[in-house]
Structure 1
């Protein structure tokens, strides 16, 4: 392992910059402690780094610090901002995360700034402002952007004043060309590409002992690139689960602690879909201690969502879901063995074969090393937000699944859920490792078997084994061997 960071030659760095241009940034999460102290999301952090570093990656620390201080307020700055708006009538601009609420009864549109505790009841978006910015404000459940705020005085003594949105500028400092990204893959070997992906998610490739360890990390990204991939990972503490699912992509959502059915699935009172309907994945962390996993309605709704991507609420509203459901848990070391019942310590749903069958694959988190300074990226790498956006857009590309359907030969009598699980995971691997593949002959049978099909079968096989431990009638039921059509060699 390398203590100094990524072993990057000048020739490799030049190829990386030629392929991705402005999307390459020098990251040093081991030594750039002043950036970490700002607690910025990865996309904002990388943007600040790029803005204030020279061609050699040297950062103007003072300039970056002043910019963040002036432009990206902390929670402690909120009272001062509020005072300027309310007491002095100022119009204030700054970067923040914003969510929207549309009141069906009153047709009033309001917003919240979750990072500053400003709620819907104290805000308003005038209809002319809404007409101008609604497209950007409705892109996702929460949007980052440059917001401009002012004060709306009460119209009568019986009413309350509110914070008014004046304008909104979606924060996206670049455009994504998916074809260019796919083409860029052809400039690198597979091992180089794996290292590029690891750098994009803030990992130092040279911090890992083997290619197998690196590939074990990348299993976590499968729900980022393919719709409705459901996974379960059990791992020791401090292997980076929460960071990857919670910090890398603004298109996903990490649940750590308590969550209500209304927030997660559907709010009947507000007639509002939950986060499962608006995110690429929902990662449920610390499931062993999660009280909500004891809720029968949450269990049944998650099972329905994992089965067919739909949930019908008691008021007959149908929630349509493309999100993958990812269960994350820490278990004792003596339970980390797929050849025994690993789910003894987990909540009731994980003791039920019908629930487990909807989970496509299992990640052996004990194959990953604990996070250390050696694992933190230190070198030239892809902007994390750029890469996260690419993964988000790859989810909607159907060409990869069409290739998988042609490549995989189905065994006679194969179980439908096994087939779908293997194909879905294979599709995700193809997007992640071989995004340049446009037709069957663009990938060799050898590479497809080793890096897509075999890992998919292994991940699904563990779920099958655990179903047998959960119920004797499933004991000995294993997935068949899938084969591959002959293609390029």
Structure 2
């Protein structure tokens, strides 16, 4: 256990579980993770290894005895008849049989139906009436000759979810953790390893959870396959439902006008549509119109009556092109069915998660540390649905007046949801509020900027905030806007008739300051005039997940003609850090003037905490590789542990300050010789970092 594991166990005893235990007990049981963690929470919510082992065996025994495998359903039905009693774990749904004036249950895996259920059980668990709930049920058997009655008798039915939750205690104990620690706890609770992610990626994961704690929140996530887009909606909470295939009837989703029965939005906190994208899909126009009305007004029509509901709507799907193609030739919503590629629908979306920034889920990304039992966290989120945390920013910041009502609504709902998730106790600093608010502005800006491209009636607005007591506006940019400045705000990407591509120009709107953005050729390539380059002096900041960054681009021009380079970085220790050093030396060689006798490079770093001998071996190999090429590489390992600042000192000309040192790239498959990230550093995603270029006198 690490420090965070111990801290979490001390603060929330009985409500945390080691996340790798789910895999150990699942076996071939096709049940959601929250069902397994419910059982683990009853038997393994401890940090005692012996108790965990005993608890795992108990859970395995429970699943072996009571979980209903479809292939064994006949044998279990026979056991109930022979013994007269059996406890089962199965998915149960209930319908009202008006002819019998009785509620009847269907057990999905067991394959039995028309089992009588008492009214109080249905009243206390209304989700039984829609799509089914995983339950622990006690069944007995009593033969009868009636054709319309089941011989199975329901003795007891217990939905698999917590019966009580203390929100005040939960919020109070949140104060024991810093913001970063709490975010890591939440990421672990989802089942992922936070050490594999940057801050931005973690916030994207938490944004998925906003649908559980914010009423009527409309979220979309489009991106490549395999990034875990639907996991949170199928496995995380008993209060959400995932509709596979992305298509559903108005009767099932909203209301059945023939029976008057309310649909999914009346019973679930979150309704998610999986595989929502696909131009070949042809959803019925009537459901699109009802959905747009519901997303805007939180209500839908049932005959002459208006019905309100609180379910959040989530739309997840796969993209068919990469982000460069979408920005340069189409838009971020290009893969939606035609009826949904509609400004009226898109404008009702509060946030857009850029799925292309999410990593493909790998086996090493899953957590083996402690996290909340997901049912406990799900109840914490559900408790806050009636609360509004958006006022937390209003005492400190104001939004631009150019934002529309829907823009502000989307920003505020995302902000409120993330505040509930990260700061349930409302103890938050001004700097932390600004960080979350800026992220929320970006999430809505991605939607609004796409609308600007799709529909000419939309104009660009200023996504910005500033302190309430005045000061400069902070303009927020999406990462795509930074990566594709020439075409991001283009409306017309097709040359006019009779023009060649070289002649076509793109109409671009005015920027926030009122000056006209330069027209860009349809080739989407900016070719600067050939002139002597003036080296930049000052500060640059790079966003997490940004691409197009390399050591050559950062330092190449500053290394031309260099004779001596000093690298001060306390973290040149592990293999990937030494690999980064090697790449920097390759850039130095590229700009080395071979007329000079040699290029001296000296490294000052700290010792590896686990294996200094291996660290020295890596650095010696680098020195040996560079020596025949005229680069004299030396190093010293400072054992005092007092060096913290990170610099790149070039002769007596430049001092380049690096807040992260050379460790700027996110993890990638360095062992794959065919990975494009190995061949082209510009294609790697970076961590958030800053560089300051200081010219010496």
TM-score, normalised with respect to structure 1: 0.86
Q: Give 1:184 deviation, angstroms.
A: 1.6
Q: Give 1:80 deviation, angstroms.
A: 2.1
Alignment of 1:83 onto 2:78: yes
CA distance in 2, matches of 1:84, 1:149: 11
CA distance in 1, matches of 2:284, 2:395: 41
Contact 2:281 2:337 (C-alpha < 8 Å) held by counterparts: no
Which residue of 308, 311, 321 corresponds with 1:323? 311
Render the CA deviation track for 1:309-336: whole Å, top value 9, x for unaligned: 11103x3343422111111111123346
Contact 1:100 1:137 (C-alpha < 8 Å) held by counterparts: no
CA distance in 1, matches of 2:85, 2:281: 42
Paired residue for 1:3?
A: none
Q: Compared with structure 1, are the counterparts of its residues 299 and 293 closer, same or farther at alpha carbon in structure 2 (3 Å cutoff)? A: farther
Equivalent positions of 1:94-133 (< 5 A) are: 94-104=88-98, 106-119=100-113, 122-125=114-117, 129-131=118-120, 133=121
Contact 2:14 2:45 (C-alpha < 8 Å) held by counterparts: no
Render the CA deviation track for 1:189-248: whole Å, top value 9, x for unaligned: 11111100001111111222x222222222211212111110111111111112122111
Q: Give 1:418 deviation, angstroms.
A: 1.2
Paired residue for 1:449?
A: 434
Paired residue for 2:252?
A: 263
Structure 2 SS opposite 1:322: coil
Paired residue for 1:461?
A: 445
Q: Which runs of 5+ in 2 are unaligned?
A: 471-697
Alignment of 1:38 onto 2:29: yes
Paired residue for 2:356?
A: 366
CA distance in 1, matches of 2:206, 2:282: 27
Q: Compared with structure 1, are the counterparts of its residues 448 and 107 closer, same or farther at alpha carbon in structure 2 (3 Å cutoff)? A: same
Structure 2 SS opposite 1:110: strand
Structure 2 SS opposite 1:294: coil
What count of residue pairs does the alignment treat as equivalent? 461
Q: Give 1:480 deviation, angstroms.
A: 4.0
Contact 1:182 1:436 (C-alpha < 8 Å) held by counterparts: yes
Contact 2:162 2:376 (C-alpha < 8 Å) held by counterparts: no
Higher percent of residues as helix: 1
Equivalent positions of 1:252-291 (< 5 A) are: 252-257=240-245, 258-289=247-278
Paired residue for 1:478?
A: 461
CA distance in 1, matches of 2:210, 2:343: 23
Paired residue for 1:224?
A: 212
Equivalent positions of 1:2-41 (< 5 A) are: 9=2, 11-28=3-20, 32-41=23-32
Paired residue for 1:390?
A: 380
Q: Compared with structure 1, are the counterparts of its residues 470 and 380 closer, same or farther at alpha carbon in structure 2 (3 Å cutoff)? A: same
Paired residue for 1:71?
A: 66
Structure 1 SS opposite 2:84: coil
Q: Which runs of 5+ in 1 are unaligned?
A: 1-7
Structure 2 SS opposite 1:371: coil
Render the CA deviation track for 1:23-53: whole Å, top value 9, x for unaligned: 11112169x4453533332223224334158
CA distance in 1, matches of 2:233, 2:148: 43
Structure 2 SS opposite 1:472: coil
Q: Give 1:393 deviation, angstroms.
A: 1.4
Structure 1 SS opposite 2:276: coil
Q: Compared with structure 1, are the counterparts of its residues 139 and 325 closer, same or farther at alpha carbon in structure 2 (3 Å cutoff)? A: closer
Structure 1 SS opposite 2:204: helix
Alignment of 1:301 onto 2:290: yes
Equivalent positions of 1:360-439 (< 5 A) are: 360-398=350-388, 400-404=389-393, 406-412=395-401, 414-437=403-426
Q: Compared with structure 1, are the counterparts of its residues 386 and 53 closer, same or farther at alpha carbon in structure 2 (3 Å cutoff)? A: closer
CA distance in 1, matches of 2:287, 2:397: 35
Paired residue for 1:242?
A: 230
What value does the CA root-mean-square deviation take over the aligned residues?
2.7
Paired residue for 1:344?
A: 334
Structure 2 SS opposite 1:150: strand
Q: Give 1:88 deviation, angstroms.
A: 4.0
Render the CA deviation track for 1:231-266: whole Å, top value 9, x for unaligned: 111111111112122111111111112533322222
Structure 2 SS opposite 1:21: coil
Paired residue for 2:537?
A: none
Q: Give 1:153 deviation, angstroms.
A: 4.8
Structure 2 SS opposite 1:412: coil
